[in-house]
A and B are shown apart, each in its own frame.
Chain A
């Protein structure tokens, strides 16, 4: 009996090793999700063009740029350096901190010579998963399917001098031992609107806050939901769905999500705004150009436009927060999204944030603000 169990374990182990060696290797293949006719990143089947795109994306996922570049068609081919810059990002943009985690492939059209495949790439980033959609054209070149990847139009800012009247606030925090002479008052920031809505079985608290003071403020908004019995049933902060550094007379939207609290169970909401006087800079100024609510390639309603960095320094990561109003000027939704490319001086960069279909129908007006993070200033 003492020998039977070890022998059995050894036999089973050998069987498993042999079975593993005989089955095809799937090391490095991402796990994705398939919907309908979607061909996912975990699949090894599909048509030949889809298999080529999958192999290409596997190389992108491993950051094997040279290997991925080998899958590109010769016609209208991007040079390798631009190709890498487009996919890997540059200048400490959000893409440089991202990894391709999975993808969805949706064949749009195919014949013997070419195929169009809608590719949704899911990138793991420090601020969560971001999806980017790209329609890839795959062509049959001398009996080998290859991906058409045209030369990207990367921002190329000519050498120039951009004059900036640099404006900033410094904070002197000399603490005098004399009582009553130890500091200055904190900034005066007021919540000017608040709305609570039910969303996906949870609750969302949103609104706007205004810095009424003449100094910059670091702002955070907290909300506590009180139940029917008067006891708190949820407490959250606005986290990144707010402009934390608010310049004088600047308005910020805020949004606080309670995914696990139904709105019907809430009797009232206690709002709390925390402000701190902080050093800040008034630059760079980022314009939000050509905004409009449209339908994107996947059929979703999005607010899209262009960000224009009007200063002379590179903005590494930008975060767009959009406020939507109804006909009465009431805030009905707050959406946000990150832009994975850096903002170069005087160079427009596209952005889009998702708008729930229920909001898109009733949104009469909207306002977009931009959070920005620059390595030079952090």
Chain B
């Protein structure tokens, strides 16, 4: 086993709000831990529940989905539809005994660079507290 736990956290974020917010955090040189890898999609509505489950099956220690605030979606209501699916994923995780704190959906707008930094810091802190995903054991 590795001496130090380095969490593997996947972020799937929408192009218009959260990805832009993350870029703004960069422009503002807001510092946060480097443990999250971000994949960009056009809208959180694009995110299939299976993407999240696939990441956990692959051994992700945590998954973060982030989109526009409700009412702010670039595609009217894609984030509502995405969020509905994501809440279903959370319920599913509970019922299979996977700590649902490993998965989070947040809402960060294009103007909220500082919030993006705070969200990532908090996600990484939570996953560090929870430790490695139990699914990793099955993948060995």
| A, B in one complex | no
Measured CB to CB, the residues of B under 8 A from A are: none
